[in-house]
Amino acid sequence: MADPELSFPTSIGTSDASTIRLLGQDLAADLMGKVGFGELAFWLVAQRRPSPSQVRLFEAVLVALADHGFTPTAIAARMTYLSAPEALQGALAAGLLGGGSRFLGVTEDSGRFLADALAEAGEPPADDAGFDALALAAVTRARAERRLVPGLGHPVHKEQDPRTPVLIRIADEEGLHGPHLRLFEAIGRVHPQVLGRTLPLNGAGVCGAALADLGLPVDLLRGFALLARAAGLLGHLAEERRNGLGMEIYRTVDRNARYVPPTPA
């Protein structure tokens, strides 16, 4: 029996003995079998049901971020599973905890960098020339402050990240090519003038721009990257169960460890 003097408001979900309510809907009757997981994830965060076009772009972002091979996050998950195979949740969490400024976190960092530049401009530029000028100012300022421009460069894809043009094309097709994506593309055009070299626009960066154009909170963009990567990590752990590589990774490092005298700090 609920205490009438206590109230904990939520717009997410509640339940009683016979029903579960989620986002104002009957979970069993209105959502199960009728709403995809990507659509539900968007709806839970944005508190608005996305259009089919928004769902397509959003789910393309999730697919783009699901896996990138033997990244440190995947290796961390596999090594944790090697140490504690009885705790799948620990291995999955270990992989997610590695989502930071070098892997996965770039999605949020890029979205914030673009959002800050657009906020400073006031109104979004009217044409490509305006976006180029805004991009040039943002990259120049970052260089002067000795900050990296998030979304530029990739440790594997030196010429082009294959995810970037596809996400831009999908945004175009769905009428969702907004100011964050346009500014991100402008950064790709102008950054060589400042940095003196040409770097590719990476997939994590374009994902951040696309998510920001979908109107999702910039401070939560890393969460979407982690949501996507959880699926990839679960795949790695399933593979580790079938054909474990963790022991070989451990043995390779252990057998090649070389002692060196400590260097005083």
List, for residues 49-62, the tens digit of each pLDDT value. Answer: 999 999 999 999 99
Three-state DSSP class for residue 103 = coil
Distance CA 106, CA 249 (A): 27
Residues 6+ apart with CB under 8 A from 215: 46
Q: With a cut of 70, say whether residue 229 has pLDDT above it.
A: yes
Q: What is the pLDDT of residue 2?
A: 64
Confidence of residue 101 (pLDDT cuts 50, 70, 90): confident
Read off the pLDDT of residues 160-179 as tens digits, 9 standing for 90 and up: 999 999 999 999 999 999 99
Does residue 139 contact residue 194 with C-beta atoms inside 8 Å?
yes
Four-residue CA torsion sign, 150, 152, 156, 162 = positive
- The whole-angstrom distance between residue 225's C-alpha and the CA centroid of its chain comes to 3
Read off the pLDDT of residues 31-47 as tens digits, 9 standing for 90 and up: 999 999 999 999 999 99
Does residue 191 contact residue 149 with C-beta atoms inside 8 Å?
yes
- The whole-angstrom distance between residue 186's C-alpha and the CA centroid of its chain comes to 21
Q: With a cut of 70, say whether residue 203 has pLDDT above it.
A: yes
pTM to 2 decimals?
A: 0.92
The average confidence (pLDDT) of the chain is 94
For the record, the structure tokens of 252 come out as 């390779």
Confidence of residue 196 (pLDDT cuts 50, 70, 90): very high
Q: With a cut of 80, say whether residue 3 has pLDDT above it.
A: no
